[in-house]
């Protein structure tokens, strides 16, 4: 065998050896791991959202109260848990009747002229997940008509309000409230049971209770005023509703 042939075989052998060793080196380079971290911190927040659409809670809206009504608003500063909005109810104008009657509240009006369900909105941005609950009270419907007051008919005696077809609208949060009353009948001077609430671990973010269903199917008829026969005078009667929020977890 010539020297040139020997040289050729040696080069070929070296090439094969290099090819067999190369994958081992490439494989070894893919086994290294390096760990890093991400971090973020949250502090208790206060609500800055304002009222939202009860049918589309990702959309801010401006509700319009009934004519002549000025809602009282919250009585305490926002500490991260607050009632953002609660509807006032317009039961309309009607002829005096000699029979017991039931009158529907108009749907909640927005400043763009459209209507939605009447509703209450609660925001919990405390970051504690410790729960909360809402109750409501109603006064008598009374009039300022001096003649009716003088003859003993300044109050719609026996009138009651029913908050019906209630449903939690939880689309605005990944962790909605989990307790509510589908129907609540209010008697003047008597505090209701919980109408909307969150057990421990629930109810963070924006929570709404829609009177008329999440989709608003019965928004024009879900809230009702029942008036006994023979108690209404020819006058305007007004009642105050007080929505009571506290940080006690709902049952």
Of 89, 96, 133, 84, the closest CA to residue 222 belongs to: 89
Of 68, 169, 186, the closest CA to residue 116 belongs to: 169
Taking the C-alpha atoms of residue 240 and residue 82, their distance in angstroms, rounded to an integer, is: 19
Q: What pLDDT band is residue 46 in, cutting at 50, 70 and 90?
A: confident
The mean pLDDT of 183-205, rounded to a whole number, is: 98
Taking the C-alpha atoms of residue 231 and residue 151, their distance in angstroms, rounded to an integer, is: 12
pLDDT tens digits for range 209-240: 999 999 999 999 999 999 999 999 999 999 99
The mean pLDDT of 179-199, rounded to a whole number, is: 98
Taking the C-alpha atoms of residue 174 and residue 177, their distance in angstroms, rounded to an integer, is: 10
Instruction: Kindly tell me if the per-residue pLDDT of 24 is higher than 90.
Output: no
Q: In 10 A of CB 49, how many CB atoms? A: 15
Check residue 69 and give its pLDDT.
85
Listed in sequence order, the DSSP H helices in the chain are 3-29, 146-150
Q: What pLDDT band is residue 70 in, cutting at 50, 70 and 90?
A: confident
Check residue 1 and give its pLDDT.
52
Taking the C-alpha atoms of residue 175 and residue 201, their distance in angstroms, rounded to an integer, is: 8
Q: Locate 179 and state its tokens.
A: 């307790």
Q: How are beta strands 184-186 and 132-138 bridged, if at all?
A: unpaired
Taking the C-alpha atoms of residue 95 and residue 28, their distance in angstroms, rounded to an integer, is: 91
pLDDT tens digits for range 85-141: 999 999 999 999 999 999 999 999 999 999 999 999 999 999 999 999 999 999 999
Listed in sequence order, the DSSP H helices in 158-229 are none
Taking the C-alpha atoms of residue 138 and residue 88, their distance in angstroms, rounded to an integer, is: 12
Q: Considering the entire predicted model, what is its pTM?
A: 0.84
Instruction: Kindly tell me if the per-residue pLDDT of 12 is higher than 50.
Output: yes
**What DSSP assignment string belongs to 60-84?**
E--EEPPTT------SS--SSEEEE
In sequence order, which residues have a C-beta less than 8 Å from that of residue 236 and are 6 or more positions away? 143, 144, 145
Instruction: Kindly tell me if the per-residue pLDDT of 55 is higher than 90.
Output: yes
């Amino acid at each position: 065998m010539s020297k040139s042939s020997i040289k050729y075989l040696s080069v070929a052998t070296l090439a094969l050896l290099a090819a067999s060793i190369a994958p081992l080196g490439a494989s070894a380079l893919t086994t290294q791991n390096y760990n890093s971290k991400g971090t973020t911190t949250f502090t208790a927040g206060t609500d800055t959202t304002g009222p939202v659409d009860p049918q589309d809670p990702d959309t801010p809206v401006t509700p319009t109260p009934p004519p002549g009504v000025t809602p009282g608003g919250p009585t305490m500063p926002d500490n991260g848990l607050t009632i953002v909005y609660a509807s006032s109810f317009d039961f309309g104008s009607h002829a005096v009747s000699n029979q017991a009657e039931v009158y529907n509240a108009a749907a909640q009006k927005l400043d763009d002229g459209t209507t939605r369900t009447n509703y209450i909105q609660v925001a919990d941005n405390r970051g504690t997940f410790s729960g909360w609950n809402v109750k409501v009270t109603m006064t008598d419907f009374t009039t300022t008509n001096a003649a009716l007051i003088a003859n003993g008919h300044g109050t719609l005696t026996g009138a009651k309000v029913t908050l019906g077809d209630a449903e939690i609208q939880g689309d605005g949060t990944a962790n909605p409230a989990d307790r509510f009353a589908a129907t609540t009948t209010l008697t003047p001077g008597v505090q209701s049971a919980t109408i909307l609430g969150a057990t421990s671990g629930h109810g963070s973010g924006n929570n709404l209770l829609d009177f008329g269903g999440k989709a608003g199917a019965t928004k024009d008829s879900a809230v009702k005023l029942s008036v006994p026969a023979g108690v209404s005078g020819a006058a305007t009667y007004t009642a105050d509703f007080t929505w009571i929020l506290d940080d006690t977890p709902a049952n």
